[in-house]
Structure 1
Amino acid sequence: MAEEERAPLLTSEAGDSTQTRNRKRPNLFPTEPVRSNAVCADDRIFVNATVTSPSEIEPDLIVAIFVVAFDTRSGNMIEWCMPDDAELDGVEFKAMVSGSHTQIKDFVYFRKDNLYGLACFENMPVESDIERGARMKSVGILATSYTLLYRHLQFLETQVRHQLEIPGKYTQLQAFYEDKTSAALASLQVQSKSNTPTTPSKDLIPELKITHPAGCFTQFAKFFGEQIFILWKYILLEKRILFFSPPPIGVVCYRVYCACCLANHDIRGLGKKIKPQFYVNVADIETLESEMTYIACTTEKIFESKTSLYDVYVDNQIVRTHSPILKELLKTSSADKEKFQKLNNLRSAHQFSYEELGEESIDEEEVFVSYFHELNNRLFQTLLDVANSQDTQLTSDHMKSMGLDPQGDRQFLMELVEHYGIDVVLMVDNPCCPK
């Protein structure tokens, strides 16, 4: 026997399935734009800007540079910034995160309104009673896109050490800002004359590009294990996901980014690309209250009790939710275990093929990003194909072809088709009534 469960009618027009792109190393100057890439090394998230032809390279749209210091009487404060009238309210608590005093060094990605920031923090011991034996500062920048920030990490690391050793000397920071803004203005003028768009499409969200042998996605998968597919389901359902961890926060910022990449697909009309919020603190509560979907991280434990702000709370490796329906998705299905094993097998196979060629390492985005990209394409395209068929019946065979467990993933699939408004009839085998 089988019972029927129907989801609402699809309201968005879906496009045709798209073949998987060639994932070999791209030509740096192709005639057509290529998607953005990310680079991780030593637990640091770097994101390459979209690359087009030489005349279409996106300018460095840096809008502010700043120094944050910890004052024993006033707390975090903006010590210096450029331009002088930059709107930096609250940045001092993002660039120097809660609990950072326990660290020697750290870095953080964050969002302020429609801008993205990167700051490098360092804590240096000093023989000073006024500073209570420690001098702590952060040097950071704000830009219009997080895809450009990675370029300046090393500079910011150098400058925060400089600010600790020789406080009050801002000449290099000022020269950096003036150089970047003048270069951006010149690029904008050239593009304006050539009628070339100054920024890539908002729909183009960077993919993960890993060049370090122990890259971001490998660490992400090893850290969460099979639970990566629990996160995958919540992300496809566009839930509000908050990662918590004590400092250092830099490593958690890349977890946010990796999580965003789990939802990549090419099926038009289904969902929006998720932009990472990165680090958030109590000052962001009002912003988070208005977000329908987000992925963020925090070092502030107080968020755990504010369950209205999130759907899923990830405390290091522990994934929790207060929603009764979402709790049913916390258990990994047999299909999840199979997918995780396949993911590991794919990586091993790629590693072996590279070793045969004498290569030292592999571009692991060819394994991880491509895997989830293809998995999501197959899942959504199958659902749309069934919805457009005459009987609209989704069978166990369909679920298996999508990489799902007909029993263990039934609730997830019901939530998915309801969330996206895909009109299918889910044929669920009743174990009490054999066929």
Structure 2
Amino acid sequence: MSASTTSSVGEDYTGAENEAPKLSALFLIKFDKKVGYIIVWKRSSIDVPLDGAVEYKSLPSGLHSVKDDLVYFVHEGYAGLSAFVNAPASEAERNAQFVAVGVLVPLSEGRLGRSWLLAERLEHIASVIAEDPTSTGPLEDFWEEQSRPHAGSSSTKQPSQNQSRARALSTITAVVPQDQSLHPYHPARSILLYINIFGPLIFRLQQAALLRKRILFVGAPPVRKMCEFVFNLSVLSSISARDSEYLSPGTENLLRLPSLFSVGVHDIPLLDKLRSPETNDARDDALPARGWVACTTDEIIASKTQLYDIVVELPSTHDAAPQKRRWPTMRTSEGAPIRATQRDLRRYKLLHHELWKNQHEGDESNGDADADDDTIALLRQSTVKSDDGLNESYDDTVVEAMTWSRLAYLGFMWWASAGEQDADTAAERERDRDVLGDLSDYQEGLPTAIIAYFHRSTSLLVKNLNAMVDRHDEETDDDDDDALIVDRDDVSRLGLDTWSEADKAFIQEFLWMYFGRQAEVQGASLECCGMRMPVL
């Protein structure tokens, strides 16, 4: 299965003003030393309360420790974006001027309403006001601009909503165009950093997202990267409309994982309400029906384990040099650690090597001038020659340790085959390479190649499970309620680890959630003299 390179859009998506979304609200937040953060200026065209809400969403805990940041959030069915600036001030102002300029835009344009197209403008306005706190002219000008029709609308043909949604990766659920150039503030530009930071845990995150768990990233400011990781995970775990045709009726609301982005202590009532989606009334149709992904700087939320299913803790050294780095930790709300499988590690090494090779070859021919910061970070933190030394970087805090049963099995297979490579492992590697495809098909945008890779993996999972269900139905009576048998070869073809109990549980839950079928998943076994015996 090779990567598709069908291109439907060739227009450079660099943030022309006529592509930006219309504002629903614009506001200015400052810090008052007596009462805290307050809204000192606002304009709104919607009947949605701002006071007592957006000032907390726009300024997560600990933001005062950074000079500037971008914060994404959702509020009452709208996407929010806030540009924060921490500027020097007089002693009377405690030597700091905290300013945040934020907007709300409709969520109808995707996970973030394409709000990133406004980020640079918001950063500029926030910087101007931080230097002159009495100035609200830039806000008035911006709002007045938004109140008028977009410039050029009468003389320039505007792209349709469907075309805009195709260009904005926030709505992508299929292979993306190869020649798409992402806006400098597009969250998908951080996808290389996302892969580099989480390592083989990206596949565990993908499984949790496909099962539509409540996933919470926890870390320290700045918040922008965490918000972009939320975006990335939601996009990577989307199920295409084409693949949804194989799923059982009633799964339409499971095709993508809702994104809450930055949440704080004031969002606890909302998170608590999402624990029981069946109680939501008709007014809450904008709330996720099941599962979500969000990020927070408030550790108190992580302590309330009833609010989430999976917590991912980002240490402060997650972006340090390899020798000083600590890997993120992933665990369930009950505290059970979640680790990547041995096959996840092999798949990650393959992906890492292909990314390194693609970028290394590109740098040799084009230099680093066109590489964005996240790409450069990935390259600099990669091994110089290849990724052969990755095994030394991952211990049992990240990857499941190889069991004694597996070691004994591999030893037996080596002895029985006179030292030849395990044929099953070789076949798995070949399949994994085939699913990854050729990243050089996406030379103009590695983020699009990575998204396409994860979507192909999900498509393979859905189609193979559907084929198993169909085969089971053909071989059994309609009244037969026997569980679907998924054997070791099936597990391997699904791209999963035949030795992992977690992968077996994933298959069972995925089959029940998307196909309504009970399953008995069989793992590794030893074949000898024509008989296959399970290996415990």
- CA shift, 1:59, in A, is 6.5
* Alignment-derived partner of residue 345 in structure 1: 353
Match of 1:395 among 487, 490, 496: 487
Identity %: 25
Equivalent residues in 2 for 1:8-407, closer than 5 Å: 21-22=4-5, 26-28=9-11, 60-83=21-44, 87-89=49-51, 90-129=53-92, 131-145=93-107, 146-183=112-149, 205-206=171-172, 215-266=189-240, 267-268=243-244, 269=247, 270=251, 271-291=254-274, 292-316=290-314, 317-323=328-334, 327=336, 330-351=338-359, 354-355=362-363, 358=366, 361=371, 362=443, 363-389=445-471, 390-391=474-475, 393-407=485-499
C-alpha distance in 2 between matches for 1:19 and 1:339:
16
Q: 1:427 to 1:206 in 2, by over 3 A?
A: closer
Q: 1:196 to 1:372 in 2, by over 3 A?
A: closer
- Over the aligned positions, Cα root-mean-square deviation in angstroms equals 3.6
Does the residue aligned with 2:451 lie in a helix, a strand or coil?
helix
Gaps of 5+ in 1: 1-17, 30-36, 40-47, 50-56
Amino acid at match of 1:412: F
Amino acid at match of 1:320: R
Deviations 1:362-388 (A, max 9, x none): 421243111101101101111011111
Does the residue aligned with 2:199 lie in a helix, a strand or coil?
helix
Q: 1:195 to 1:413 in 2, by over 3 A?
A: closer
Amino acid at match of 1:401: R
Q: 1:355 to 1:168 in 2, by over 3 A?
A: closer
C-alpha distance in 2 between matches for 1:314 and 1:199:
33
Higher helix share: 2
Greater mean alpha carbon deviation, residues 197-206 or residues 303-312: 197-206
- CA shift, 1:181, in A, is 3.0
Greater mean alpha carbon deviation, residues 417-426 or residues 401-410: 417-426
> What TM-score, normalized to structure 2?
0.65
C-alpha distance in 2 between matches for 1:105 and 1:272:
35
Does the residue aligned with 1:404 lie in a helix, a strand or coil?
coil
Amino acid at match of 2:222: P
Does the residue aligned with 2:171 lie in a helix, a strand or coil?
coil
Q: Is the 8 A contact 1:252 1:297 kept in 2?
A: yes
Amino acid at match of 1:154: E
Amino acid at match of 1:367: A
Gaps of 5+ in 2: 275-289, 315-327, 372-442, 476-483, 527-531
Q: 1:284 to 1:114 in 2, by over 3 A?
A: same
Deviations 1:406-426 (A, max 9, x none): 231212211221222343644
- 2:420 equivalent to 1:420: no
> What TM-score, normalized to structure 1?
0.78
Q: Is the 8 A contact 2:218 2:296 kept in 1?
A: yes
C-alpha distance in 2 between matches for 1:164 and 1:427:
60
Larger Rg belongs to: 2
Q: 1:203 to 1:370 in 2, by over 3 A?
A: closer
Q: Is the 8 A contact 1:384 1:422 kept in 2?
A: no
Higher relative contact order (CA 8 A, sep 6+): 1
- CA shift, 1:357, in A, is 5.7
Q: 1:300 to 1:427 in 2, by over 3 A?
A: closer
Deviations 1:100-125 (A, max 9, x none): 12121111011101001111111112
